[in-house]
Each structure stands twice: as C-alpha cells, then as structure tokens.
Structure 1
Amino acid sequence: MKNTPKNPALLVRISDDKAEDRAGVGRQEADTRALAVRLGWGTGEVFVENDTSAFKRRAVTLPDGSTGLRVFRPEFRRLLDAITVGQVDGLIAYHLDRVARDPRDLEDLIDAVELTRIPVDSVTGSLRLASDADITMARIGVAIANQSSRDASRRIRRKMDELAEAGTYSGGGARRYGYEPDGMTVRPDEAEVLRYAAHRVLEGASVTAVGRELDEQGHRPVKAQRWSSKTLGDQLRSARVAGLRVHRGEIVGEAAWPAILERDTWEQVLVALNSRRTYDNRRELAHWLGGLLFCDRCGHALQANFVREGVHRYWCHSGHRRGGCGRIAIQGEGAEREAERQVVEYLSRPDVAERLAEVTSRRGADRARTDLAADEHQLRDLSRMWAEKAITLDEYAEARKIIQARIDGAKAVQMAQVPEAARKVLAAADPAAAFRSLNPTRKRETARVLLASLGYKGWKVEPHDASKARRFDPSRMALMEVDR
C-alpha cells in the first residue's frame, strides 16, 4: 500500500435527510477529517451522498443494451473513477455501511483499490481493505447490512400494504398541497385554489396559463415560489385530491381523508390533461393526431415532427427517453385528412349518439369504476398468492395478463367522459361540419371519445410498402382496438 496519502478522498453518505439540513453528512465529514489528522494524512475532495440510498435499486440500461437492477449512486461512481485514474491516493469513510450495502458496489470498490493499491480506512474501523482478511470481513459486513436493509424494506412494505388496505395516510415526505401536515385535514384556502385550477382547465385553459394566474394571485405551491406546469399538473392528476388511495402506483380504493375535487370532476380533468399531455407548455395543439397514432412495430404513440415550413409528419420518436423504435413515420397532412374522413363518416351514423351515451353515461362510468376496483383487488390477491408460492410464475403471468386487459378496458371507459367540445359536436345540426370547425385540441378530445365508443383507441400505422411510390397511403392506417 502507498504510505501517507496527500490527497485522500473522504466519502460521507446518509440515506434519508428528512430535515434537509445536511447535518448527518456534516457530522460524518467532521469525523473523517479528524481521522485524517490523526493518521497524518492530507485531505482531498469530499464525496457527499446526502439523502442517497446505498440499497434501493432501479432498472437501468446496461452497457450491453440489456436491462438490470442497480443502485443509483452517481457520486460513488465518480469516486471509483477518481480512484482508478489516480486522482486520489487514499480513502476515508465513516463506516462500512456508509460505503456500501450492495455487494456489487463493494466488489467494484475492491477492484479499484486492488488496482491502485491505495490505503483505505474508516472512523469506526469497520472498513479496511489492506489484506485478504480485511476484504473477507468487508464482504461479510456488507452481506449483513444488505440483509438488514432487506428485512427493514419487507417490514415497511407490509406496513404500507396494511395502511393502503385501510385507506389511511402513510405519512412521510413533504406536506401535500391542499392538506395539513397530517395528510388528513383539508386546508380550505388551498382546496379552493385546486378547485379553481380544475375549473379553468375544464374551460380549456392550459396548465401553464393557470399556473401564471395563481402566481399573479399570490398562491404558492408547498416548496416553491412559483407554479410550474409539471407541479400544477401533478397536483390535479393526483388521485389524492379525489379522495382515492394510491399504493404502488395503483388506485386501491377510497381514502380515509376527504376529497377536494368531486370524482366526476377529477376524471374530466384527467381527460383534459391527458388529451394534451405532450403539449402542456402550449396554449393550443398544432397537430391533432398526437396520441391517436401508434407504431405497428413497437406500439409507441407517434409524435408530430416538423419537416420543413408547412410540412410535418408523425414519427415513432426514438430520441432520449422517448422509447420509440424510430422506424415508422407517416405524412402529417394526409394522416389528419384520412382520420378526419373516418371520424366524419362515423358521426353521420344514426346510432352514434346511442353508442356514445352508453359508453359515457354516468351508469357506464360507475360500472367501469366498480369493475376496475374489483379487478385491481383481484390483481393484488394474485400477487400475494404468487409471493406465498401458492401459484407458479407462469400461472401468475397468464392470470395477470387476463386481469390487466380487463383493467385497461375499464380505464378506457372511465377516460371516455364526454368533454364539452364533443357534446357541442353531437348537439350540432351538422355534427360533421361542427367537428371540422374545431381547433386541434378540441378535435383530438372529440375524436378520442368517439373512437372509445367504438372500442378503439386510435390508428395503428403500418410500415410503408417499398414497392409503392413515396406518397401518402391511407391503407397504412388501421383502427386499433382497446386491449381487452
């Protein structure tokens, strides 16, 4: 090992900084600096992981393109790089479990230390990597710490399941807007703000515009000085404001706290927001088929894409975070013309009003809501049976596929509440002309509802036939059924 490091790294980490005052990492830094003085070492860069878990993993894309579960610790990875390239000549940490609770992280550190032969020490003496015995003890210590984290995680999950089943508030995190810190008591002034925002969205105002209004009126979110479109949009989409309990990303039933928005109002707000999700920062859509066209190859929604002045296309965007395959595109004006032709043709059918009323009636929505709750409850029971090894993984996967298809169908019915624009089209003396006169936003809202009443969610766009000329081909667009 190298002697008397002049530029050792100090690593400090705390998993949960509820007070957000960095006091935990501050105490660790003071202790690691004191140890460096006692050892006669210098002090180099401090690598700080505040409010960072060394146990929780997330799905990431690996260098070979596959997906795996990894602990996400950018500062720890930066430290390993600094060790490997010789930027630091030693390492001091507070304790072994501050450095690693995941065996893979420890092995990466061991590799870097054995490659560079830098000395490693810790305030508590629990981490040294100078010999095979030190390394073995570190591996045992991390295995024990990892098991401890797993035990704690299992107990917390079970407690969260219990609270979710009861519909009660689980606590933790920042105060929810509209509610007191107990999560159960409504703040009347903030509740009125959310009701006003929902009303403005249903009138057609963009989330960005509503946020500006709230800023001008002096209303502030919980942890910021101004409303962003994302913050306000998330507040209005939250099932909490409708008095619903969400657990692991799914609505599991009625909550114990009172609702701020009526259920029907909240669902209509979801329709309005979801119909313009990609365009939250615009007052109006430019092209109305976004979210109604889907790639035949990978299933992703196509997005409007500028080509040149006056020309656009819809493309399966493959850019960062888009997730598309990039292999399907269709000429925009032609696609909109064909989609409008099909919608107008449907509007001319004598049974359209009856079909739409059945799908979007309160009775239909209530039935869909009841079916959805029952299926989601069954899905939770199925997960529990698999966890308890009462069924095999194949049995679980097959049953889950069937139940999930029913859930998707019920959600499609719920999301098909008739927006104001669609009601006006249906009430018009000439529905086809009324539809053609709509702006892009209202046209998409109306088309989405009309398609849902037929059991469709949009159009699937098939690949271009290379043997044909490069011009718009309406046969590439086929109606796509809602999964059932």
Structure 2
Amino acid sequence: MRVGIYARYSSDLQSAASIEDQVRVCRERIAREGWVLVETYADYAVSGGSMRARPGLQALMAAARAGEVDLVLAEALDRLSRDQEDIAGIFKRLTHGGVRLVTLSEGEISELHIGLKGTMNALYLKDLAQKTRRGLRGRVEAGMSGGGNSYGYRVVRRLLADGTPVKGEREIESAEAAVVQRIFREYTCGLSPRQIAARLNAEGIPGPRGGTWTPSTIHGSRQRRNGILNNEMYVGRLVWNRQRFAKDPDTGKRVSRLNPREEWVVTEVPALRLIDDDVFAKAQGQKARYAGWAGNKRQVKKRVFTGLVTCACCGGAMTTNRDRYYCAARRDRGTCKATHGIAVAELEGRVLDGLARLLVGNEAALAAFTEEFERELARLATERRTAGDAQRRQIVEVERGIARCMEFILSGDGAPGAVRGTLMELEARKSRLEAELRAATSGFPKVTIHPNLPDLYRRRVGALSELLADEATRAEAMEALRGLVTRIAVGPTETRGLCTVTIHGGLAGILAFCADPAKSAGSTEFLVAGAGFEPAAFRL
C-alpha cells in the first residue's frame, strides 16, 4: 500500500513543529500497518478555508491523479479542508482514482464522514469568525485597535500587574503626526495630492509602508474612507467595521465589501486627535468639490500596450494622460527626472509600422525563422524519445527485480516476509516510472509548417492595423500582439519631442536571430526607430 501523508497548520501564530508532530504520528501508523511511504505533502501557515492557495494539497491531488499513491493519510479530516465544497471534492476525486482516504482521528473516511464532519468543520469556522469579531468589537468600543494601525501612531505594548499583556493600545508618533498635519495644511492651502507626494519624496520622508508616497496614499477612496485625508482617527474618532472580507469561492482570495453605514462602530478617542475639526471639514469639502471633475473623461477603451510601456530612465511604468504616455514616477511621486512623453497614437503606429516593414519585407528572415522552427521541433521530439527510452530501460530492470523476488518466494528457500518490503518498493517504483513514461510520451502533438506560411504571414501582419481598428476583432488581435511583447521602454533623445522606443520580449529574440543569427544569442530586444527605420537599428 503506497501512502502519501498530508499535514497542515493554519496560521503563522502556530508553531511549524505542528507539521512535524502530524507527520510523526502518521509515520508510526504506516510502520504498524506495513505500508510504504511514498511522499509527505505539507502546507505551512495556510487556512483550511480554501484548497486553491495550498501547493502541498495540490501536489498531493496531482500524485493521486497520476496513480502514485494508493492511500492518503492525515491526522484529521480538518487538516485536508474545513470547507464543505472542497472536502467533498477532494473525497470525490480520490475515490474516482481508487485512492483511499484515512485519518488517525476518524479512521477510513466514507460519505458519512464527509457529510457530518464537513458540516461541523464549516460551522467551526463560522463560529470562530463570530467570536473573533465579537472580541474585536469589544476592544474597539474600549478605544483600542481592532486590527492594523494608522500612520501617525505606534502600538503600545505593556503588561498588567499580573503579567497579562494589553493589546491594541496606541499613542501618537510625533514625527509621523507632523507629516499628517503638514499634508492637511498643504492640501487645504491648494496643493494637490500629487504635488504633496512629490514634495515628501524629494525630502526623503518614507511613506506609511516605508516606500515612496503616491497620490492615492494621500487622497484615498471616498467610498472606502481610506487614505490620509479620509482617516477620521486624526480628529479623534475611531471607525471600525467599514468593510468586511469574504473569500471568492473560485479563486480562494479575499474580496473586500463595504458594510452599510449603520453597521459601523464609532468610538471617540480624543487622546489620539491630530487635526482640528474645521481643518478636517475644509479638506473634505475640497475633496468633494474636485471629486467628479474628470468623470466624463475617463478612459473606457483599453490601449493596445496598456501596462507594457515603461520609462527607460527609471524603469517605472508610463501611464496615459490625455492620449500621451508619461512617466508615472515623475507625475505621481516626483522620483524620476524624465521629461519626455509620447503620444499613444505615435507609439502604437511606430511599433506596428516597424514590425510590418521588418517582418513582411524580409524574405530571408522569414525563411530563417521557418527553418529554425522546424529544427527546434525535431530536437524536442528527439529529446522526448530519448527520455522515453531511458525510462523503458529502468522499467525492464525493475521488472527483473520483481521477477527475482517472486522466484524467491515461490521456491520456498526463505520466509516470504523477508522480501515483502523490497517487492512493494519495486512495485511502487514501477508505477512511478510508468507514470513518468506516459507523461513524457504523450501530449506532444505533431506540428508542421504550412506550405503557404509566408503568404499567410504577410497577410496577417499587414492586416494588424485593420484588425485592431475593428471592434469585432480588436480584443483577439490585442491579445495576440501583447503575447509577443514583454515591455516597451520609451526613452528621451537629444532632440526635444522625439523619443526612442525599445521592445523587449520573445518576438524581439526571434527577429534578432533572423537579422543576424551569429550576433543575437541571448538577445531579447530591438529598437523601433521613427522615419527611415532599417533592420540595422536592432539593439543587440
């Protein structure tokens, strides 16, 4: 019986030794039963509420699908999952693959365990969440923190006379409090969040998380009431339960949702006040006045290269403002000295026109690519055949060992138990080798080059602009084009108003090879010039 052990502990507040304890008692059970341990799978500091973010459990399920284990052993059913849907799915998939599920607490798991224990574990999670929130609410109503901390304060750690720690107390951090007061003062005097962030970064003042300041850190969100200018803690008012978090059943990630205002818990904490009421009210009035100015000018159509354009000076992202790309680090943080920008239409036109002229007009490059592509396919096929031959030889050797063990048992020359462990290990190794052989020799479809590839290729490249302009085909064309480019770096030139555009990505490596195979080893970028673009402008 080939066994895979699974162990998990749920939070970083627990000891990692919990995994070792679970594995130890499972090993003892395996030794008593005479089973063979194939592999141990573990997840450290991961909640049992979802299986999608647990690599150890995912690896265990993959091993079960591949036929590498006959039985899964865990300390208890809640180590596998506390979610009813997940635990039912795990049991269903293991049963379908002929894999038994056994725990030390419940024994061999059946449908009855899945129904009863799955419900109990789910109720445990719900009850734990309710008790935790009740405790946090009590702390908030006492004027203490309900989790997290705001910029301008520090957490106070002290002990009562009996040694009991007091959690959640805060006090004003004078240096950070001065920055908060400065932000409100400069904002009410007419400076924008972008200008304030640039000033703070220029003076080397670290942001709330130790990095640089951004405009969003200062102005925040009106709906979620976050950001420096929205934080009511600065007027001595602690607000808790503005939002709640729920796990997305498809991704397993937490998603925030706003709570109704009547569910908010508000506690007065005058000792933590940093800002006067009139200053805070003035700041809120300015935010409300400017909030909807650009609402009808927001970009609703995604650009072809959105998220791929970077500044060649600092390496940061470039964002659009009125149909031009500018360095976001300069605009939002003031940490880059780059003054160059490029129109969206010009960038897209230069990239598309440059690719079209180079790719369509270079017959030798296309022929070289086709030849190299076929050569690479042949090389990969040879490698897979070679790997399969090696595994077949190992399987033959294992089968010989199994035959010798069987011959020894049937001859009656010794106790069969003496070779029982060896025989089981050989059988397990044979199963693994056969699974590896199946994986190595399957899933590799036959790929051939279309005889009219050059003509088809020219038509597709030449029609890129038309495909992007047509709303019916724009999304598909954008996806194909963006899949070839890792990033596009835009840099300044000595001539004001002109920029260099450098494309990085797998496509650039292919083009560089086609231009000059001898020079392009490892190259992944080329230069797209303006007028008069020639293949010699490759940056290799």
Q: One fold, TM greater than 0.5?
A: no
Q: Which has the larger radius of gyration?
A: 2
**TM-score bracket for the superposition, by shorter chain length:** 0.3 to 0.5
Q: TM-score, normalised by structure 2?
A: 0.40
Q: TM-score, normalised by structure 1?
A: 0.44
